[in-house]
Chains A and B, each alone.
Chain A
Amino acid sequence: MNLYKYASPTSFYPLAGKLIPWFAIPSAILFAVGMYVGFFIAPTDFQQGDAYRIIFIHVPAAWMGMFLYVLMAIYAGIGWAFNARLASMMASAIAITGAMFTLLSLVTGALWGKPTWGTYWAWDARMTSTLILLFLYIGFISLQSAIDDTRRADRAGAVLALVGVINVPIIYFSVQWWNTLHQGASIRILGKPTIAAPMLAAMLIILAACWLYSVAVVLMRLRCIILEREQNASRFAEVNA
């Protein structure tokens, strides 16, 4: 079997369609299992009560947000370097899911912050750098949607994503130093508490569910992008016939 065949958007399209259920269904099952473990098995936290349970979606969302940015940059870079259209389309498809997870982690973080620290928003280093990550996603998406020529959009997005990846660690550390210099230790997120095993399990199960969800949704969006961009490809009709 020649795997390179699937580097072509038109031949990847049907494969993506077949793969989607293999990711979507396990994702739904794992979400259900993770929520059951999170809500019924994991013990109530000694200090925070039941409010802490938002951690089961908050932490996986934050991880996915960061991870997907790097993945997006890698795909965009591959698409640019090897002129691989499918990789570039993949990057555009990932961007929106990544931005959604980043936003989700900010919103859940704010909702968690209110009962535990008494404020929705604190200029904590991690919150601030997550917010900036969201800005970077927004920049990538708005740049791509401002450019009509898809080839240029792919490459310009790649340059921006790679510049962003170089900058992310710099931004992260500068924000951390800024934070320690500005305000005293009035608020601290989790000073590394020992986490109960069911809590960790629920978090990891939901992380896996988010992971599978991302793959499924990205593939769905990828199929839409392929349909949109390759509608004139002459082979498309016969391949899908």
Chain B
Amino acid sequence: MLRWIVWRDLTLAWRRRADILSTVFFFIIVVSLFPLGIGPETQLLRSIAPGVIWVAALLASMLSLSRLFANDLQDGTLEQLLLTPQPLFLVVLGKVLAHWIVSEIPLVLIAPLVGLQFDIPGETLFILVVSLLVGTPVLSLIGSVGAALTLGLRGGGVLISILVLPLYIPALIFGAGAVEASIIGASPAPHLYLLGAFAIVSLIFSPWATAAALRISLE
């Protein structure tokens, strides 16, 4: 069941490749705007880079969240999924996993490239990728709760950011903290462990909350 959901969502996403690309370009453009607003001073740019890249990743993942359940709601698939004998928990987990692969993995892959714009040294680029790899599942997991709660509401897109962005703060702090620690020569490990712990906590709680929220939204 899990594999089937993931496969289905990936197939659907592949048939609408433009959506994936627009998320990635949004990420690149937002990150590129900061040097233009702040000035080309290398030292300054390097010190703000972790925060900028992480914030841009949070915003970019907002874009695709409202689509997480909306299309399935429109064509009635979501109601059918709720009626399946399998636990809704698994359905949600599958959709979140697919969302992570479709919307977050491209960001993780492109991140070293935008990191170069900020003159981040090579080893730190690796830490950046690791921190995003550990942290982005949190974005998909917590984001799915917001997506399920705002399903079919007016202005759902803006509302979802108000609900979800404050909950992302720990991921932002630890993720950007790991990269920053690496830039100043400290060990990024403590931040990464905490980020991993946060990811595990959200892996345990979020699918249940999302499943409950879906039932509430669809009854």
Contact indicator B217/A167 (Cβ below 8 Å): no
Cα(A78)–Cα(B173), bound, Å: 33
Q: How many residues of A contact B (CB 8 A)?
A: 26
B155 on interface, CB distance cutoff 8 Å = yes
Contact indicator B205/A159 (Cβ below 8 Å): no
A122 on interface, CB distance cutoff 8 Å = no
Contact indicator B166/A156 (Cβ below 8 Å): no
Contact indicator B173/A159 (Cβ below 8 Å): no
- In the assembled complex, the CB of B107 is this many whole angstroms from the nearest CB of chain A, namely 22
Contacts of A152 in B (CB 8 A): 216-217, 219
A171 on interface, CB distance cutoff 8 Å = yes
Contacts of A171 in B (CB 8 A): 166-167, 169-170
Contact indicator A156/B162 (Cβ below 8 Å): no
B201 on interface, CB distance cutoff 8 Å = yes
Which of B159, B163, B170, B216 interacts with A155 by CB under 8 Å? B216
Contact indicator B149/A175 (Cβ below 8 Å): no
Q: Which residues in window 140-162 of B have CB below 8 A to A? A: 142, 145, 149-150, 153-156, 159, 162
The answer to whether residues A139 and B209 also contact, given A156-B217, A170-B170, A171-B170 and a CB cut-off of 8 A, is: no
- Among the interface residues B166, B198, B201, B209, which one has the most CB atoms of the partner chain A within 10 A? B166
Contacts of B142 in A (CB 8 A): 163
Contact indicator B216/A156 (Cβ below 8 Å): yes
Contact indicator B153/A132 (Cβ below 8 Å): no
Contact with B along A150-167 (1 / 0, CB 8 A): 001001100110111011
Contacts of A142 in B (CB 8 A): 159, 162-163
The answer to whether residues A177 and B173 also contact, given A146-B153, A146-B159, A163-B145 and a CB cut-off of 8 A, is: yes
The answer to whether residues A159 and B149 also contact, given A146-B159, A152-B217, A152-B219 and a CB cut-off of 8 A, is: yes
Interface contacts beyond A143-B159, A171-B170: sample of 6 additional A-B pairs, CB < 8 Å, sorted by A? A146-B153, A156-B149, A156-B213, A163-B209, A170-B201, A178-B177
10 A-B pairs with least C-beta separation: A174-B170, A135-B166, A155-B216, A178-B173, A139-B163, A174-B173, A156-B149, A146-B153, A159-B213, A139-B162
